[in-house]
Amino acid sequence: MKEKILDNTFIHYWINDHSTSDICLFFSHGVTADHRCFQRQDEFFKEKYKIINWDIPMHGQSKKENFIFYKECALLMKRILDKEKINKVVLIGLSLGGYPSQMFAHLYPGSTMGLVAMDTTPFGLKYYSNSDIFLLKQVGWSTKCFPTNLLKKSMAKSISKIKYSYELMMEMLNESSKDVIARQMEIAYSKFILENQDIKLDRDILVLLLLGDSDKTGKIKQYCMAWQKETNYPLHIIKNASHFSNSDNSESVNDEIENFIKKICKV
């Protein structure tokens, strides 16, 4: 994977330039993490498809880029694709990464082949109660109440089920201070509250929801169930996986993505 920087920004992204596939997978990671979330997907798919994997603003190598609204994140994603002369993508968003992915699919239906929403939640006013919104607003300041080491270890442990996932998350967290982590979480969720809206994706865009069977992060399980019920999008449960499902059980997630791509190609 070759690291690049988007023109006139601090946005870093990685691409496998050697692939000649017509299919491009665009990965977006979760809050407080970075592009390394998808190491096992990069390894599995890099010889099959074109891959773009980026650090969302205020994360990883893109830390110097101030976090912005998810609509603007989608615009940055489109600029990356335009720079690389890629017309259509399969979007794969993990947790927080599901928000810019959904927004991209909403704004650019003609450029979206499909969306894999992984351990994430939907845009839509109907899904979130007043108490849900209140709790999301508390995320930033409550994070600061924990001692730094305890905060990082508890975060990594809460989203992982295997040693590899835990250590990878710790590796990413250890590159940020507690203040940076708190700010990442505060801004990420406050922006979602402000930007949340009812989104109806184009009927031609195939969507797959993935959820780790042991994902106990917030109310993600409940949101995914409601999302599936409202839209009839298929919801597939990843066994032996927590919130970091694509790392906990990469084999199953990779198979799900592969089968989803095959389904897209038949449409």
Given a cut of 80, whether residue 67 has pLDDT beyond it is no
Domain coordinates in residue numbering, the chain: 2-123+199-266
Q: Judge contact between 116 and 260, C-beta under 8 A.
A: yes
pLDDT band at 188 (very low <50, low <70, confident <90, very high): confident
Nearest by Cα to 257 from 112, 111, 120, 90: 90
pLDDT tens digits, one per residue of 232-257:
999 999 999 999 999 999 999 999 99
Adjacent-strand bridge partners of 5? 12
The CATH code for residues 2-123+199-266 is 3.40.50.1820
- DSSP of 149-195: HHHHHHHHHHH-SSHHHHHHHHHHHTTS-HHHHHHHHHHHHHHHHHH
pLDDT > 80? residue 44:
yes
Give every strand in the sheet of 206-212, ordered side by side.
2-5, 12-15, 50-54, 24-28, 89-94, 112-118, 206-212, 235-238
pTM over 0.85: yes
Query: How far is C-alpha 2 from the chain's CA centre?
Result: 20
| Per-residue pLDDT at 141 | 67
pLDDT the model gives residue 22:
87
pLDDT digits (tens, 9 = 90+) for 112-160: 999 999 999 999 999 998 888 888 877 766 777 788 999 999 999 999 9
Give which of 133, 62, 121 is closest to 97, Cα–Cα: 121
